Amino acid sequence: MKFEKNGKFLSELRKEKGMTQLELANLLHYSDKTISRWENGISFPDENTLEKISKIFNVTIGELTYGERITKENQENLNKSFFMNYRLLLKQYIKNKKILVLFTIIIILLITIILFISIYFIFIRNSIKIYTLKSNDNNFDINANLITTNDMSMLYFDKIKGLDGKEIKNIEFYYKENKDKKNLIITFENENQFIYENNGYNEYNLYKLKDKDLYVDLEYEEGLIKTIKLSKELNYSNNNIFPKKSTSISEDNESTKDYKNLSQDFIKFLLNEGFEKKSDYYEMNLQDKINITLNDYTFLLVIDDVGSLSADLNSNKVSYIIFENNETLYGDYYLNGFETKNCKVENCTEIVDYVKYINYFFKKYIELN
């Protein structure tokens, strides 16, 4: 053991003072086990602690590092030993410091990782959800989307088509909390409808609809009213820490026959672009902040913390809702004369860039359908 001589000397000094290992440990703010390791030569105190020990036992640091009291006979050896042991202690001190710094860095990294994971699961995960609303009655073609985030919610209805050929005039959209109570959300004419609401504003309570039974009352021209219960399917939720792999064309060839409004060539184009097939729509996430869904009729592009753009495949109009400088901006773009842009390979930062991106898909839709 490197410090056996030093340890025995320390033990002798302690016993001369009539002190126990625990009493010495309390003076130095160490445990008695540490004192025992020193006295058995397993380890040895650092420079600062040696200075305290020298004052307690009235000896020099040189004597402690040499392991004997100074005499005329050992003076020269003590001086040599002091410098040798000092270098050894210094190396030990530096090594302990490095271990302490490394341990501190590891603890900080662990705390940071735990903090970020906690923030993700508490505030970010599942903060954005996109639902598709469909008719439970096969005689009516209803396409609607409900989008909820931590801050705001949006609802989009396509014009509802009755497959019986009769014209639908007005629509009441509501939910029921029990069999009798009808909670009206909005009444509108049978045209494309888009509404948004900051959560907590409580005009429409859109953010609560994900947990409700939803209905529409369809009023015909002649006054007849038909009640339809809507099914609600979660299309997207930001609950994946890592990106999901898109389905390949070869894996998806057998499951593309049920999209009556999209040709096989256009579907292959979507899959090549990175879209993934869901039950009755296609979806792609872009740049970790953009979600795009496309079904038989509707193209919906949602940009985190910015807003959304929506369009009907059978129309050349793109409707947008943007949140900017504490204001909400609405509007429409018409694709006639617009250029195209592929935001997957080109930089897109402005709303007009995303309109061009939608036009990129519309051009392909017209070409391949």
Mean pLDDT over 249-256 rounds to: 44
With respect to residue 233, please indicate whether it lies within any of the assigned structural domains: yes
With respect to residue 140, please indicate whether it lies within any of the assigned structural domains: yes
232 with 300, same domain: the answer is no
Confidence of residue 256 (pLDDT cuts 50, 70, 90): very low
172 with 295, same domain: the answer is no
Is pLDDT of 91 > 60? Answer: yes
Please say which residue of 183, 217, 239 terminates a domain.
Answer: 239
Q: Please give the tally of structural domains in the chain.
A: 3
Nearest Cα to Cα of residue 188 among 165, 211, 156, 213: 156
- Out of 226-230, 249-253, 306-310, 315-319, give the one with best mean pLDDT: 226-230
For the four alpha carbons of 338, 339, 341 and 346, in that order, the dihedral sign comes to negative
245 with 230, same domain: the answer is no
Nearest Cα to Cα of residue 294 among 322, 262, 320, 246: 262
92 with 168, same domain: the answer is no
pLDDT tens digits for range 34-51:
999 999 988 888 878 988
With respect to residue 167, please indicate whether it lies within any of the assigned structural domains: yes
Mean pLDDT over 300-318 rounds to: 82
Nearest Cα to Cα of residue 254 among 271, 237, 232: 271
Nearest Cα to Cα of residue 14 among 48, 64, 61: 64
Q: Phi, psi (5° rounding) for residue 217?
A: -105, 120
pLDDT tens digits for range 104-148:
899 999 998 888 878 767 766 667 888 989 888 777 778 888 988
Mean pLDDT over 259-279 rounds to: 83
Residue 176 has what pLDDT?
Answer: 86
**pLDDT over 90 for what percent of the chain?**
16
Question: Using an 8 Å Cβ cutoff, are 3 and 41 in contact?
Answer: yes
With respect to residue 156, please indicate whether it lies within any of the assigned structural domains: yes
Helix boundaries (H) for the chain:
4-16, 21-28, 32-39, 47-57, 61-66, 75-119, 249-252, 264-273, 351-368
**pLDDT over 70 for what percent of the chain?**
83
188 with 212, same domain: the answer is yes
With respect to residue 121, please indicate whether it lies within any of the assigned structural domains: no
245 with 332, same domain: the answer is yes
pLDDT tens digits for range 180-216:
788 899 899 888 888 888 888 878 888 888 888 899 9
224 with 245, same domain: the answer is no
253 with 340, same domain: the answer is yes
Identify the CATH number of the domain in which residue 40 sits: 1.10.260.40
Domain extent, residue 331, equals 240-369
351 with 278, same domain: the answer is yes
Residue 87 has what pLDDT?
Answer: 60
Please say which residue of 55, 81, 98 terminates a domain.
Answer: 98
With respect to residue 110, please indicate whether it lies within any of the assigned structural domains: no
Distance CA 294, CA 292 (A): 7
Distance CA 277, CA 247 (A): 7
Angle 336-340-345 from CA coordinates, rounded to 5°: 165
Q: Which two tokens stand for residue 134?
A: 């469909």
Mean pLDDT over 71-80 rounds to: 64
308 with 223, same domain: the answer is no
Among 83-92, 162-171, 196-205, whose mean pLDDT is lowest?
83-92
Identify the CATH number of the domain in which residue 138 sits: 2.60.40
Please say which residue of 78, 98, 118 terminates a domain.
Answer: 98
Structure-model confidence comparison of residues 339 and 324, the more confident one: 339
Is pLDDT of 279 > 80? Answer: no
With respect to residue 50, please indicate whether it lies within any of the assigned structural domains: yes
Confidence of residue 299 (pLDDT cuts 50, 70, 90): confident
216 with 270, same domain: the answer is no
327 with 350, same domain: the answer is yes
With respect to residue 60, please indicate whether it lies within any of the assigned structural domains: yes
Mean pLDDT over 67-78 rounds to: 71
Residue 221 has what pLDDT?
Answer: 80
